Amino acid sequence: MTFVPEIIVLCGGLSSEREVSLRSGQAVASALPGARLVELETDVLPAWIDGAKHLVLPILHGGWGEDGRAQAEMEARSITFAGCSSAANRLCMDKVATKRAMRSAQVPAIPEITFAGAAKPTAAELIAALGQQIVIKPSDQGSSVGLYMLEGEAAVAQALAEIPAAGQWMAERRLLGREMSVGILDGQAMGIVEIIPLTGVYDYQTKYSKGSSEYRFPAPLESPVAAAIAGAAQRLFAACGCRDFARADVFLEPDGRFYFLEINTMPGMTATSLMPKSASCVGLDFTSLVRRMAAPALARAGQPHCH
C-alpha cells in the first residue's frame, strides 16, 4: 500500500522575517489541496507532527527555520520534509562557507573581508582593501537584514560604530550593475529575473513592498551570458549540497562579468517573490511550482529513514 502523507506547511516562527514567512506559507498552502497550514508562534517543531503520517513543507525564513536547526529536528524525528537538508541549510546561511563552496565550484565570487563585531577593522583599512563603495552585512543572516550600502570613509566609520559587538560580519566591494536572481528546481536553473529597485537599493523594505521594484523576467540577456549564469547557479546548488529547490542571487557588472552573492535555501513565495517569477519563465504557474517543490519529498516519503 502506498504511503500518502498529509502535507504540513510550516510558517511563522520568531525570526525577523516572520511576516514574510506567514504570507509565503499561506500562498503555498492554498496551492496544495488538502495541505494543513501551521503558523508557528515559537521556534519549536510541534510534537504532534509524525513521520509516519505527515510530510512537512517548511516555508520558514531566517533563523531557526533556515539555518538548519528545524531540519535537524525533523531528521532526528524521521520526518520527511521538502527542501534542503540541515547540513545544506547551515552551509548556505553562512555567507563565508557559501563563498568557499562557490570558489570550489568555479562560481565567480567577489573578495570579502570577514570580521567579528568585537574585532572590527577600521574604515581606512576596509577602503584601502575594497575601494570607496562598500557593502557591510552580517555573514549569517538572510534577506538583506542588517545591510549597509556605504560610500566614503565617514559613512563606513559610522556603520562600523553602529555594528554590535556580537555576531560575524562581512565587507565586500559594492557591485554596480544589474541585480538578478535565478530559481533552481530539482537541480535545474529556471528563468533569470532582473530586479530594478526604484530606490536604487534592493533592501528588505524594497524586497517585500509591492510596487517598490520593477522586474524583468526573463531578464533581457545575450544567450551565452544567460547560459553561463544558469550553469553557474546549477554548480553552486550542487556544491552546497542543496536539493529540491533554492534560489541564487547574482550581479552582472557593465563589463560583462557576473558574481554570485548567495544561494537561498528558503526562497520567498509571496506575491512579490522572485522564485514564482523565475518559474513563470519556464511555463510553471504558482500552483505547478509549489507541486514541483513538494514532489521530490513525496517520492522520498515511501523510503524508510530518508529525509
Residues 63/28, Cβ–Cβ less than 8 Å:
no
Domain 92-108+176-289, CATH among 3.30.930.10, 1.20.210.10, 1.10.760.10, 3.30.470.20: 3.30.470.20
Tell me the C-alpha distance between 267 and 207, whole Å.
Answer: 12
Instruction: Confirm whether 143 is a catalytic residue.
Output: yes
* pLDDT, position 305: 42
| Average pLDDT over the chain, rounded to an integer | 91
Q: Which of 269, 256, 262 is nearest to 57 (CA)?
A: 269
The pTM score is 0.89
Instruction: Confirm whether 262 is a catalytic residue.
Output: yes
CB atoms within 10 A of CB 31: 18
* pLDDT, position 1: 43
Instruction: Confirm whether 249 is a catalytic residue.
Output: yes
CATH code, residues 112-173 = 3.30.1490.20
Out of 86, 89, 139, 143, the active site residue is 143
Tell me the C-alpha distance between 265 and 248, whole Å.
Answer: 9
Instruction: Confirm whether 247 is a catalytic residue.
Output: yes
In this structure, what C-alpha cell is assigned to residue 35?
495541505
Interval 35-63: pLDDT, tens: 999 999 999 999 999 999 999 999 999 88
Instruction: Confirm whether 268 is a catalytic residue.
Output: yes
Tell me the C-alpha distance between 16 and 98, whole Å.
Answer: 22
* pLDDT, position 210: 59
> Which secondary structure element, helix H or strand E, spans residue 117, and what is its range?
none
* pLDDT, position 228: 98
* pLDDT, position 307: 45
Residues 10/65, Cβ–Cβ less than 8 Å:
yes
Instruction: Confirm whether 204 is a catalytic residue.
Output: no
In this structure, what C-alpha cell is assigned to residue 295?
514532489
Out of 12, 13, 15, 17, the active site residue is 17
Tell me the C-alpha distance between 50 and 79, whole Å.
Answer: 7
6-82 and 112-173 agree in CATH topology = no
Tell me the C-alpha distance between 41 and 43, whole Å.
Answer: 7
CB atoms within 10 A of CB 77: 13
Residues of the chain with pLDDT under 70: 1-3, 141-145, 200-211, 303-307
List the chain domain ranges. Answer: 6-82, 92-108+176-289, 112-173
Q: How far apart are the first and last CA of the chain?
A: 20
Q: Using CA of residue 195, residue 295, residue 86, residue 45, what is the dihedral sign?
A: positive
Out of 174, 208, 235, 278, the active site residue is 208
In this structure, what C-alpha cell is assigned to residue 127?
577602503
* pLDDT, position 303: 54
* pLDDT, position 3: 61
Give the architecture (CATH level 2) of 6-82.
3-Layer(aba) Sandwich (3.40)
Packed helices 86-93 and 95-104: angle between N→C axes, nearest 10 degrees: 100
Interval 124-162: pLDDT, tens: 999 999 999 999 998 876 545 578 999 999 999 999 999
Out of 13, 67, 268, 273, the active site residue is 268
The single-letter DSSP state of residue 17 is: T
